[in-house]
Amino acid sequence: MQDFFALTHGADGCATLELNRPERLNTLAPAFFPALRDAVQSLNDAGQTRVLVIRSTGKHFSAGMALDVFAQDADWLRLQTARHRLAFQDHLRQLMRCIDVLDEARFPVICAVQGGCIGGALDLAAACDIRVCTADAFFTVQEIHIGMAADLGVLQRLQRLVPQGLAREMAYTGERLAAERALACGLVNAVLPDAAALHAHAQALASQMAAKSPLAVAGSKRALNYARDHGTGAALDQMTLLQSAIFDIDEMGQAIAAWKAKGAAEFPPLGPVPPLEKP
């Protein structure tokens, strides 16, 4: 983990995952993906984190997948036989799940982008709940430039974040989407002048979320994700079941009292996910 990012925890329940290989433009080596998955899953399972901010160091957020991943002698790229191709499919799905964990976490994930968000980095950003960026930021589906279709989720998620035509233009041409247009089309929520302002804004946004009931926030994320992937009728049915599971009148009482007093309520964290018993 230390080779790719640093993970820190704040007393308010806000965690920060900072990409820390600026000398390599924060490129994503194969080992990055399981490290990311394990870090986010651990935060989720421990139940103390209320918000996660993903940010980076250096000029660019990330230049995406390191090109040496696609070396001709890589075992996972052998596709000569049906068995090789079947194994490739399973390997690729495992990589996808390393990004899925951001979407599935019980807490919101904020992605703070400075400079380039390129290729695999856009897969990562698209899986987050909210994106904010610097004025010099840009977003690009880089994979089309190296003769492949992007395959870690950006093609599936991007078209839910920006207009279909724009998502397809980005996927087919690899053209850069600049910060102001990203804001105009809804890919990002805010554009900040520089990295310092970006990080401050992301942290303030995270702190605002962390002050709310983590139960209500987690329930809202689950409802929003379900509605995104299902029809309205099915989503409303799911909401009736979800609300019956998370409705907590005592927590609501604390929230209402704090809101009336213009103060902050003290909500307990979600708590840990019980581990599976080992055989």
236: which 2 tokens? 């409303």
| pLDDT for the residue 2 | 61
Identify the band that residue 278 occupies on the pLDDT scale cut at 50, 70 and 90. Answer: confident
Mean pLDDT computed over 169-196:
98
If one compares 276 and 15, the residue with the highest pLDDT of the two is: 15
| pLDDT for the residue 68 | 73
Say whether 211 sits in a helix, a strand or coil.
coil
Mean pLDDT for all residues in the chain: 95
Residues 100 and 153: beta-carbon distance below 8 Å: yes
Nearest to 113 by CA among 101, 102, 122, 103: 122
Mean pLDDT computed over 195-224:
98
Identify the band that residue 166 occupies on the pLDDT scale cut at 50, 70 and 90. Answer: very high
Mean pLDDT computed over 38-61:
98
167: which 2 tokens? 């998502």
3-state DSSP of 239-271: HHHHHHHHCCHHHHHHHHHHHHCCCCCCCCCCC
% the chain with pLDDT above 70? 97
If one compares 227 and 75, the residue with the highest pLDDT of the two is: 227
3-state DSSP of 46-77: HCCCCEEEEEECCCCCECCECHHHHCCCCHHH
| pLDDT for the residue 244 | 97
pLDDT surpasses 80 at 124: yes
Let me know the angle formed at the C-alpha of 278 by 277 and 279, rounded to the nearest 5 degrees: 115
Least confident of 1-5, 68-72, 134-138, 261-265: 68-72
Instruction: State the Cα–Cα distance between residues 141 and 10, nearest whole angstrom.
Output: 33
| pLDDT for the residue 73 | 57
Instruction: State the Cα–Cα distance between residues 205 and 145, nearest whole angstrom.
Output: 35
Residues 155 and 177: beta-carbon distance below 8 Å: no
Q: Which residues contact 82 (CB under 8 A, 6 or more apart)?
A: none
pLDDT surpasses 70 at 225: yes
Residue whose tokens read 């399973």: 90
DSSP string of 137-159, one letter each residue: -EEE-GGGGGTS---SSHHHHHH
Residue whose tokens read 């509605």: 227
Identity (one letter) of the amino acid at 151? D
Backbone angles phi, psi at 242, to 5 degrees: -65, -45
Write the pLDDT tens digit of every residue in 141-158. Answer: 999 999 999 999 999 999
How far is the CA of 121 from the CAs of 27, 63, 124, 127, 227, in angstroms? 8, 7, 5, 10, 25
pLDDT surpasses 80 at 13: yes
Write the pLDDT tens digit of every residue in 233-254. Answer: 999 999 999 999 999 999 999 9
Residue whose tokens read 């979407």: 103
Residues 26 and 57: beta-carbon distance below 8 Å: yes
Least confident of 24-38, 57-71, 111-125: 57-71
| pLDDT for the residue 71 | 62
Write the pLDDT tens digit of every residue in 69-115. Answer: 766 556 767 888 999 999 999 999 999 999 999 999 999 999 999 99
Identity (one letter) of the amino acid at 223? A
Residues 134 and 115: beta-carbon distance below 8 Å: yes
Nearest to 132 by CA among 182, 83, 97, 73: 182
Instruction: State the Cα–Cα distance between residues 198 and 133, nearest whole angstrom.
Output: 6
Nearest to 122 by CA among 36, 68, 187, 190: 187
| pLDDT for the residue 66 | 86
| pLDDT for the residue 67 | 78
Identity (one letter) of the amino acid at 49? T
